[in-house]
Structure 1
Amino acid sequence: MKIIFALFLIAFGAMSARADGLESLEVFMRSASSGRAEFTQVVSMPAREGQAARHKTSSGSFEFVRPNRFKFIYKKPFEQSIVADGQTLWLYDVDLNQVTSRKQAQALGSTPAALIASAPDLRALQADFTLAALPDKDGLQWVEAKPKAKEGQLQSIRVGFRAADKVPELAALDILDSFGQRSVLNFSKVEINPRLAADAFRFQPPKGADVIRQ
């Protein structure tokens, strides 16, 4: 019996070692009903004639409850909030005191948020993306998602997961748009399935803010 059990553990270990980014994405979507983390984002803009490439760094926090509710709170260098409450996607720029709102169903189909927070399952994602596992890199398991819609502004999205005991840990997002601009988000202090307040994703435009509805 001990020998059989040992062989089972060896076999299970071999199967786990073969897990790739696509499998990690599927497990993450199935198991992580909520989450929160901190992030650092580096946006790299391609060089133009007579100009060097430019880089912009920002940081903040991220929370989600699947499906359809999430928020990115940018704290540095400028304060900005992106909140999806299930019906409306809100963008609030503190410096401009300006709020932009869009119907969420029209805004999130082929976006990075759909990959990690909005879509309910892998099948729903495959309606909007072509998904493929990539080779492991930098200690992470990667999956690439290419939007099926040709008229969008995104060229590809890569999601990196760090292997964990139960649920793969979201580690990175690498987003390339059709203009050659690259955004890389690295996540830290990741919590899976925390209890989040019922009103965590409720957004009320601040008094006096200019509200633009699209």
Structure 2
Amino acid sequence: MKKWIAAVLIAACAGVASADGLESLENFVKTVKSGRADFTQVVTSPPKEGQAARVKTSTGSFEFQRPSKFRFLYKKPFEQSIVADGQTLWLYDVDLNQVTSRKQSAVLGSTPAALIAAAPNLQALQADFTLLAAPDKDGLQWVSATPKAKDGQLQTVRVGFKTDGKATELAALEILDSFGQRSVMTFAKVEVNPTLAADLFQFKPPAGADVVKQ
């Protein structure tokens, strides 16, 4: 689960107005170099035989600095920190007092984090994803991204944008993994291109924490 949570790291903010989801995504990648937002994440696991589907809701906040630096803080119902410093991806579970570190280049790959926070342009994204403009739904413009690599845990990602005729704001992210688990993330209090302190993306394991390198 922790690896899957790390794979769904994302960032949210705004770009310029566009005609469809693909253009919105392209403008976002080109113009948004940093961002900050709150998030709500609802994860629905497929039902087991004779049981109802399991639904879990989490809330938190995140910041990112392109390329490839982000901090993702889960606050409720359990505290977790996921920090990418550009070289290493750190996952800190507060309840377990355990830190997991992995080489960032080996972790991101065809993930939503790469899709949103790392790529410099649409062409770079198209090297790892098949991108298609999807029909408008729930008042949002959508783009569908399917990883070209077939050996990962991610099946598809859908990104939703709000438009008001002048600007386009990233509003939602829908993720389906290869186990049938679906995650829907919505964003609030979005800040576009804020100035973020460099040490925001530095992580030092807390004293006494068990550190596992993978």
Q: Provide TM-score, normalisation by structure 2.
A: 0.90
How many positions carry a matched residue from both structures? 199
Q: What's the CA shift string for 1:101-153, capped at 9, x where partnerless?
A: 11111111111111111222212111111000001111111101000001111
- Alignment partner, residue 152 of structure 1: 152
- Alignment partner, residue 12 of structure 1: none
For the Cα contact (< 8 Å) 1:90–1:100, is it kept in 2? Answer: yes
**Which moved further from structure 2: 116-125 or 78-87?**
116-125
For 1:180 and 1:109, the matched residues in 2 are separated by 20
For 2:195 and 2:167, the matched residues in 1 are separated by 16
- Alignment partner, residue 62 of structure 1: 62
**Which moved further from structure 2: 122-131 or 159-168?**
159-168
- 2:52 matched to 1:52? yes
Post-superposition offset of 1:86: 0.3
**Which moved further from structure 2: 18-27 or 164-173?**
164-173
Post-superposition offset of 1:168: 2.1
User: Per the alignment, in what secondary structure is the counterpart of residue 106 of structure 1?
Assistant: helix
For the Cα contact (< 8 Å) 1:70–1:118, is it kept in 2? Answer: no
Q: 1:62 to 1:165 in 2, by over 3 A?
A: farther
- 2:180 matched to 1:188? no
For the Cα contact (< 8 Å) 1:69–1:86, is it kept in 2? Answer: yes
Q: Give matches, 1:91-170, under 5 Å.
A: 91-164=91-164, 167-170=167-170
For 2:124 and 2:167, the matched residues in 1 are separated by 20
Question: Structure 2 stretches of 5 or more lacking a match?
Answer: 1-15
- 2:208 matched to 1:208? yes
For the Cα contact (< 8 Å) 2:17–2:165, is it kept in 1? Answer: no
For the Cα contact (< 8 Å) 1:161–1:171, is it kept in 2? Answer: yes
Report the AA paired with residue 85 of structure 2.
D
Post-superposition offset of 1:17: 8.4
Question: Structure 1 stretches of 5 or more lacking a match?
Answer: 1-15
Q: 1:165 to 1:212 in 2, by over 3 A?
A: farther
Identity between Structure 1 and Structure 2 (%): 74
- Alignment partner, residue 7 of structure 2: none
**Which moved further from structure 2: 109-118 or 158-167?**
158-167
For 1:33 and 1:27, the matched residues in 2 are separated by 11
- Alignment partner, residue 80 of structure 1: 80
Report the AA paired with residue 125 of structure 1.
L
Post-superposition offset of 1:166: 5.6
For the Cα contact (< 8 Å) 1:27–1:167, is it kept in 2? Answer: no
